[in-house]
Structure 1
Amino acid sequence: MHVPRTQMKKAARSKKKLITNDPLKDERQSTAKFSINNELWTIFILVSAVKLLLVYTYHSTDFEVHRNWLAITHNLPINEWYTNNNSQWTLDYPPFFAWFEFFLSQFGKFVDPEMLKINNLNYASHATILFQRLTVCVSDLMLLHGVREIADVFCTTYENFITFFLLSLFNVGLLMVDHIHFQYNGFMLGILLLSIAQVSKIQSVKILKGAGYFAALLNFKHIYLYVAPAFIAWLLKWYCWKKNKFFNRLIQLGIIVMMTLLISFGPFATQLPQVFTRLFPFKRGLVHAYWAANIWALYVGADKILSLIWKRFGWLSIIKTATLTGGLVQEDVLAVLPTPTPLFTFIATIVVIIPIIFILLTCTERDFHQRDFIRCLILCALGSFIFGWHVHEKAILTAIIPLSILAVIDADDARIFLILSSTGHAAILPLLFPEDLILIKIIMLSLYTIIASLCLQRLFNQSLLTSYEWIYISFLPFLTIYEAIVHKIIFHERLPFLPLALTSIICAIGIIYSWILYCYIFYSHCSNKMKLTCKTDKLIKLCIPDSN
């Protein structure tokens, strides 16, 4: 018997209404939500206790950077924030972060006024250290909020929630970079997760809120421009191009972006060239002092090896070989291979991102899921990390943290997460160079990798990695052992940059492998769903006769 489609839709709506009005189900859902919130706060309190244990450990020069920014924003008029060069650690973050430092300085003056003196360079009293460390811990409440919001969208079981909370809040990369090295990545990654959660809800108001959060994030730290193409494509596809309201909705998004930029950069309108010079310092060179684990680490490493061969055969001048002997690339040229320019790296990044964005823009609603948007975002982050200009090793967290939500949902994503997180975290370890941190580094990396592996394997009830991938991951902690002990035994004081170069190159292999494998998985998922949609359409046409 043929049932009209209108009757089927009415029956479905009636069934949904009956389900949502079930008081017992509502009570169970409320109880489950309360339990999940309790678990979330328990995990957050536990990780906060770990952070407090790290308060008086080593901190990098970034600690002085942020202390200096507190002093600049507290004492100087805003027209001098981006021009003051009293210290080498000049303000080079967007205006929203400058205002964030100004806000923190209002509390800092009650703790230790000396920290807010501009000429008090390298000041680090116990009170100052405690205050600045606590500002990072408290700002992680934004990470907590972002984790909870995105979990509500994507997690469907209690096990999903708890595993994701552990992977994100206990992320060893954030512990090392924010709470030892010293930065505020957790705060900004929380905003990123919040914006992803909002735009993934496919509701007009929520999407606009998510767009606003992301626009604000770009004005806290412009490194998130790397993932902007994914957001732009998603907003165009799932907001602007729906219901024949393209121009109206595009104008709405434009107003949000322009208002955010106006609020952020408006007070600095008379010095915009200076601000942008600080934000985009292309003169810093292709790679950082410690090479980020990307394609350019392999490229510069290859140039080093070729330069030794060229020198042995007398094909290379002494002057040219001296430019890179310190392992630092500023505005120097490479010895043998062509030196990439900022334009070349930009084009390379665009080339690897365009296919991902094209799929996002051209797929149909039935072929695409919010999870695929996050995959696009992660691939944009990885593409920019691997091919970008003067990339910092810490930028890998922009891919690892969003990937943690997908790792608890899909086994393929979990596989990539285990490889990428262990490799990315291993690449961060050299930032913590004091010898008394060697044991802590090895324990943190190994413990997180083991816990993540056990949790995800239990969640999916299967082995996630191949034997070769397990061997590679198991080898990573030995890079730290080689750097700290073995290299000194073999080479003594010679070749001091070799351990760092090996770490960058070996970790670059793992990160590039993760990116290639994830591209393949993404294309396969999308292709399979498109094929399934075609088969479903054919089946519907056979089963349901045309009413005409």
Structure 2
Amino acid sequence: MVSLHVLVVSLALFVRILVGYQHHSGEDNYHGSKRAYGGDYEAQRHWMELTWHLPIGDWYWYDLQYWGLDYPPLTAYVSYVCGALSEWLVGPGTVALFKSRRYEGDPTHKAFMRATVWVLDALIYFPAVFFILKVLWQLKRQESSSTNEFLIAVLVALLQPSIILIDHGHFQYNTVALGLSLWSLFFIAHPSFFLSCIYGSVFFSLALNFKQMTLYYAPVIFAYLLGRCLAFNNGSKIPLWQQGLERFAALGGTVIITFVQLWWPFLLYGPRDNLSLVEDGSRNALRTMLQRGTHVLRRIFPLERGLFEGKVSNLWCALDTKPINIRDRIPADVQPLAALAATFLLMMPSCIALFLIGRASEQRKEAATRQHAADLKSLLWGCTSCAFAFFLASFQVHEKSILLALAPASLLVWEDVVFCDWMAVVATWTMWPLLVVDRLQLPYVCTLIIFATAITQLRTTPLLQTITMKPTDGDWVAWCWKILCQLSLAAMLVLHALEMVVPVPSHLPDLFPVLWSIGGCALCCLAWLRTVGSLLTEGRSALQKPKND
């Protein structure tokens, strides 16, 4: 059985290695635009360069015009370690300050850069996927179920095309943030003791400090934890208000301590000096710390960049086409507020449902394993829904942000295999314009075929066939959903065919990217509606169970 586990991990890594032989973002300064230079690959390499050579106080201030550091502190620390390894294992020239800019011709260095993503992926994301699916499988498994069914589901989750193409093709470290977020859900959903929520809050704080986009999950995680704080425990003699206050303080203290540990060097040390504020003895120490912290926050959340970038498949980009041109109709200073309001409206259903589920968690009299799986399933649906809300309506969204919705959705294969299968294709399809710029068309096709093969194998397992054939009161809803998915998949193929055979009009150079944006937005809206429907069902079940016990 161990050999099967090794085989699954080896296959997932092998596909990643093959994709790693393809182009990365900005390779040979190719961007499809003469004005562009570099890409995420050069940005990550440059961050290794600057963190390894410069004092920590300079990290967020150094040459901001050339890929200045704009990710949270944990990414900076990881870049520092990778920079040290690059110098020791490959050579000083790979991270030489300033002189190593646009260093990409050395195949050994490229292999090193790719290997850093493989290793972090295998150490953080792989185990999180494995343990979460293990818990969910325990909820669904039958006496005749075999471990092979579980391992095929793990393989399907690890072969998500869009995650592989972005991290191992385009080049990013998304699976570190996604893995830390999944670990936080694994611990937060544990019903037996509240201490697990403390562990989960540490993991989520680390995720936030690795990539700021994990804020997409924050509202639903906060709502669930608030519900757990206010959960009525029949066996406790402590008043509910006191229990809630103690739990909230414990969670808040954990988050604050984690953030302070990661952020304090950037508050104490500023650019072009190595003196801490304590050593300097400045009377304006607090104001200086605030200024430094504000600068780092502005680097991480650059509101001046605009409502969206590129041809992302969200509401703002889709509505910015003629004759609407919404960016011209909303003043620039009002756009962040408009995005905030729209995002708030879209995320409210998931937050309310997760609050109710969290509050009812300790009232249920189920086995710990089943309750853990039930709450974990609800959190995955909630994170998927909330991530879609942010992707569709929030400010400064990138094409790659859809991965935040995909990661939790990919683990719900035993709840709705049609949705998981469809979501994987949609997420990859929406990034086609970006992948064309990166010259990753061949890996795009190959990874989709590999994923389709794996998901087809999973559909033939006895457990999944039993689940999908099980009659329910909402069979007509499932039937309509299946038809919609099939029609949308056909539409995606048609648009690919049209792009190959229809010449682009000279007066509409962005015709197909715009069509991709509008079509992708419609599909993401459909996916958001699906997650809201599932969460309403989950929330209703959570409220009914305590009454039935």
TM-score, structure 1 as length reference: 0.79
What is the aligned partner in structure 1 of residue 327 from structure 2? Answer: 334
| Paired residues of 2:181 and 2:207 also in contact (CA < 8 A) | yes
Distance 1:388 1:222 in 2: 13
1:99: Cα distance to partner? 0.3
Q: CA deviation at 1:341?
A: 0.7
Match of 1:64 among 42, 45, 62: 42
**What is the aligned partner in structure 2 of residue 186 from structure 1?**
175
CA distance in structure 1 between the partners assigned to 2:249 and 2:47 by the alignment: 36
Q: Tell me the CA shift for residue 87 of structure 1.
A: 4.7
Match of 1:474 among 486, 490, 506: 490
What's the RMSD between the two structures over aligned residues?
2.5
**Which moved further from structure 2: 83-92 or 335-344?**
335-344
User: Which structure has more RCO (C-alpha within 8 Å, separation ≥ 6)?
Assistant: 2
- The aligned counterpart of 1:154 is 136
Tell me the alpha carbon deviations over residues 25-67 of structure 1, each in whole angstroms, 9 at most, x when there is no partner. Answer: xxxxxxxxxx3x5433321111212222233311111000001
* 2:226 alignment partner in structure 1: 236
**Secondary structure class of the residue paired with 1:466:** helix
> Kindly tell me: are residues 252 and 240 of structure 1, through their superposed partners in 2, closer, same or farther at Cα, counting changes over 3 Å?
farther
Residue pairs, 1:489-504, within 5 angstroms: 490-491=503-504, 495-504=508-517
> Contact conserved, 1:94 with 1:221, CA < 8 A, in 2?
yes
Task: Decide whether the 8 Å contact of 1:240 with 1:250 is kept in 2.
Answer: no
**Is residue 2:338 matched to residue 1:298?**
no
CA-to-aligned-CA distance 1:140-177 (integer Å, 9 cap, x gap): 12111211221232222435522331222111111100
Cα distance in structure 2, aligned partners of 1:359 and 1:294: 24
Deviation at 1:533, TM superposition (A): 5.9
The answer for unaligned runs of 5 or more in structure 2 is: 26-38, 142-146, 268-288, 365-370, 470-477
Match of 2:473 in 1: none
- The one-character-per-residue Cα deviations of 1:369-418 (angstroms, maximum 9, x if unpaired) are 3122222222111111111111111111112111222222x2xx323223
Counterpart contact for 1:74–1:106, Cα < 8 Å = yes
Task: Report the AA paired with residue 54 of structure 2.
Answer: L
Q: Distance in 2 between matches of 1:173 and 1:261?
A: 30
On the 8 A contact 2:421/2:455 being kept in 1, the answer is yes
Stretch of structure 1 that moved more, 113-122 or 217-226: 113-122
The correspondence of residues 111-510 of structure 1 with structure 2, limited to 5 A, is 111-119=90-98, 120-124=100-104, 125-141=106-122, 142-156=124-138, 157=141, 158=147, 161-202=150-191, 203-239=193-229, 241=231, 242=233, 243=236, 244=238, 245-269=243-267, 270=289, 271-289=292-310, 291-301=311-321, 304-306=322-324, 334-335=327-328, 341-363=335-357, 364-365=360-361, 369-370=374-375, 371-408=377-414, 410=415, 413-433=416-436, 437-449=440-452, 451-452=454-455, 455-456=458-459, 458=461, 459-461=463-465, 462=468, 466-483=482-499, 485-487=500-502, 490-491=503-504, 495-510=508-523
Deviation by residue 1:183-227 (Cα, 9 ceiling, x = unmatched)? 011222111111111112222332221111111111111111111
**Do 1:438 and 1:480's aligned partners in 2 also have CA atoms closer than 8 Å?**
no
Contact 2:23 2:438 in 1 (8 A): no
CA 1:337–1:442 in 2, change beyond 3 Å: closer, same or farther? farther
Report if aligned partners of 1:423, 1:510 keep a CA contact under 8 Å in 2. Answer: yes
Residues 184, 359 of structure 1: CA spacing in aligned structure 2 closer, same or farther, 3 A cutoff?
same
Q: Does 1:49 align with 2:49?
A: no
Q: Return the alpha-carbon distance in structure 2 between the equivalents of residues 177 and 201 of structure 1.
A: 31
Percent identity reads 25
Aligned length: 467
Distance 1:39 1:401, change over 3 A: farther
From the superposition, tell whether residues 173 and 514 of structure 1 become closer, same or farther in structure 2 (CA, over 3 Å).
same
In structure 1, what is the equivalent of residue 474 of structure 2? Answer: none
Distance 1:481 1:494, change over 3 A: farther
1:462-510 deviation digits (Å, cap 9, x = unpaired): 4875234212113324444444x324xx236553211111111111111
Larger radius of gyration: 1
Which secondary structure does the structure 2 equivalent of 1:350 belong to? helix
- Unaligned stretches of 5+ residues in structure 1: 1-34, 308-332, 538-548
Question: C-alpha separation between the residues in 2 aligned to 1:66 and 1:392?
Answer: 17
Gap change, CA 1:86 and 1:204, over 3 Å in 2? closer
* Matched-pair contact (CA < 8 Å) for 1:419–1:514: no
More displaced 10-residue stretch of structure 1: 343-352 or 178-187: 343-352
Deviation at 1:95, TM superposition (A): 0.5
Query: Which whole-Å CA distance do the structure 1 matches of 2:168 and 2:228 have between them?
Result: 38
